[in-house]
Amino acid sequence: MHNVSTTQQFIGFDASYESSQIVLVGAPFDGTTSFRPGTRFAPSVIRPDSYGLETYSPYLDLDLEDYSLCDIGDIELPFGNTKNALKEIQTTITQIVNDNKKPLMIGGEHLVSLPALQSLYEKHPDLCIIHLDAHTDLRDDYMGEKLSHASVIRRAWDFLGDHRIYQFGIRSGTKEEFNWAKEHTYLNPFNLETFEDITIKLKDRPVYLTIDLDVLDPSIFPGTGTPEPGGICFNTLISALKSLTCLNHLVGADIVELSPHYDPSGVSTAVCCKVVREVALLLAHK
C-alpha cells in the first residue's frame, strides 16, 4: 500500500489486505484547524484503546470477528502541506476503492473527508453524503483558504451539486451558511428527527457517511477541537446508525475530529472507538 505506516491494529481488524472487505486507514492531519489542534494524534490513540471494547455489538447483533477487516495503518502525510496531504489521502483511498474494498477512515480533522469523497465519487457518480456534525462546514473559504475543515462540505458540493448532501445535528455556522444550505443541501438542524426517513429515501443510492464527533454534546465528548454545546447524546447517535442498516449501498465512511488530549479521562476516545466499531459493522454487513 502506497505511503502507509503500520501501527497497532484496531481490534478485530486482523485480516490480510487481499482478503479484506473493509479497510481501516488513519489520516493524521490537522493542518487547517482553526481553534484547538490535536486531531492528528487521534489514530494512534484510538487503536490501542480499542482493546477495551468487545468485538461484538449488542446494538447491531453483529461481530467484527465474522468479517474480513484489515487495518493498514496511517497514511504518511507531509506536515505543513495541505494540498500534498490531501493528494496522498486520495491516492490511498482510490487504491482501496479500485481494489473493490470499502474504506473506513479515521481522522484527523474534517478536511480529510474531501479526498475520500472525491475518490468514491469517481466510482459512484450518483454518490450522496450523510453528514453528522455540529457545524455546517459550508463556508466558501475560511480567512481566504478554500481548503479548510470549515469548508469541506462546500468543497464536496462543488462536484456533487445540489441536494445530495444530507446534514444532521448542525447547530453552528454563519448566517450565510444556513441561508446557502436552504438552497443547496438538506439541512436538518439541532437533531436527528428525520434521519430514519432520509435513510429510507436513500436505500438504493450509494451513500458515504461522514461523522464529525462534535455532533455529540461536549458533556459526552469533550475531546474535540471545536466543542459546541447542545449536541445529541450517544444513544441518539447509535439509534441513527442502526437505521443505516436499510441502506443497500453504504460505500465508505469516516469518523473525524477526536482530539484526545483535551479529554485526559479517555472517555472521548472510548466513545470514538465504539463508533468506529459500529460503523465498521455497518459497512461489512452491507
- Ligand-binding annotation for 135, yes or no, is yes
DSSP state of 9: P
Between β-strands 186-189 and 165-170, what pairing exists: parallel, antiparallel or unpaired? parallel
- Ligand-binding annotation for 254, yes or no, is no
Sequence length of the chain is: 286
- Ligand-binding annotation for 141, yes or no, is no
- Ligand-binding annotation for 124, yes or no, is no
- Ligand-binding annotation for 133, yes or no, is yes
- Ligand-binding annotation for 66, yes or no, is no
| Chain centroid, CA 176 distance in Å | 25
Strand partners, 130: 166, 209
One-letter amino acid of 224: T
Please identify which residue in the block is written with the cell numbers 471494547. 53
- At what angle are helices 267-285 and 234-243 packed, to 10 degrees? 10
Torsion of CA 198, 284, 252, 150, to 10 degrees: 70
- Terminal Cα distance for the chain, rounded: 24
Binding-site residues: 110, 133, 135, 137, 212, 214
Binding-site residues for Mn(2+): 110, 133, 135, 137, 212, 214
